[in-house]
Amino acid sequence: MVVPLSGWSMNFGTSFTCAEGMKDEANEVVEAIAKKIVQDMPYEARVDAVVKYFAHERKMLLKKSLARRVHLTRSMYMKAVPSWCNNNVPCYQQIISKWIDPEWRAQHRMALERRALMGGPVHLQGNLNLHAYVQKKNRERGEGQEKLNTFRDYVSPASQRNWKGGGSTQALA
C-alpha cells in the first residue's frame, strides 16, 4: 500500500505539472533520460546478475561497485537469470553471449581504465543546470579570482579543464 506524504497528492498528473510553455523542453528531457535508461539496461542487468549469483550461489553480499569489476562464466550467469527474463531464457543467453565475448570485455576494460585516468569526477554539476552551476561556482570563488565563463570552462574538452580549480588551464582560441 502506498501512503502519500503530508502535503503530497496521489494524483501525480495534477500535483506535478510542467511550467507554462516548457512542455516541449520537458518532453525532450524525459525522452533523453528514457533513452539513457534503456541503453544502460543490459549493463545494469549484468551487474545485477553478478550480485544475484554471489547472493544465491556463494551466499555473499556483493556491492554493485565491486560487482561491476567481476565477470562470470556463461554457466554462472545462467544461475542468475533475472525475473524479467524467466520466460525467455534464449533471450538471456544472447545477452550473456555479449557479456562473455572477449572483444566486449576488452572494450569494457578500456572504458574502465579511461574513466580511472580522468583528473576528477565525471559529473560535476549534480541536478543544477549549467547556468546555475556556473553561478554557484562563481559565488564560491574567492575575491580577485577570474569569473568562470560557461562556454570556455564547462563546454571545453575535459583534457583542458582544471577540475580542482574549476577553471580552464587553457583558453580556447
Q: What is the 3-state secondary structure of the chain? A: CCCCCCCCCCCHHHHCCCCCCCHHHHHHHHHHHHHHHHHHHHHHHHHHHHHHHHHHHCCCCCCHHHHCCCCCCHHHHHCCCCHHHCCCHHHHHHHHHHHHCHHHHHHHHHHHHHHHHCCCCCCCCCCCCHHHHHHHHHHHCCCCCCCCCHHHHHCCCHHHEECCCCEECCCCC
Please calculate the CA angle 21-26-31 and round it to the nearest 5 degrees. 145
Contact predicate 120/164, CB 8 Å = yes
Q: Give the three cell numbers for residue 117.
A: 585516468
Percent of the chain with pLDDT over 70: 72
> What is the rounded average pLDDT of the residues 103-127?
79
Q: Indicate if the pLDDT at residue 49 is higher than 70.
A: yes
Q: For residues 166 and 78, which has the higher predicted lDDT (pLDDT)?
A: 78
pLDDT attached to residue 124 = 67
* CA 173 remoteness from chain centre: 32
What pLDDT, on a 0 to 100 scale, did the predictor assign at position 142?
72
Q: Give every CB contact of residue 149 below 8 A, 6+ residues apart in sequence.
A: 134
User: What pLDDT is stored for residue 121 in this prediction?
Assistant: 62
Domain ranges of the chain: 23-117, 130-168
Q: 1-45, pLDDT tens digit by residue?
A: 344 444 444 455 555 667 778 888 888 888 888 888 888 888 889
Question: Which pLDDT band holds residue 140 (cuts at 50, 70, 90)?
Answer: confident
What the block records as the C-alpha cell of 130 is 549549467
Query: pLDDT value at position 120?
Result: 65
Average pLDDT over residues 105-126: 78
Q: How far is CA 48 from the centre of its chain?
A: 15
Q: How does residue 61 score in pLDDT terms, banded at 50, 70 and 90?
A: very high
72 or 33, higher pLDDT: 72
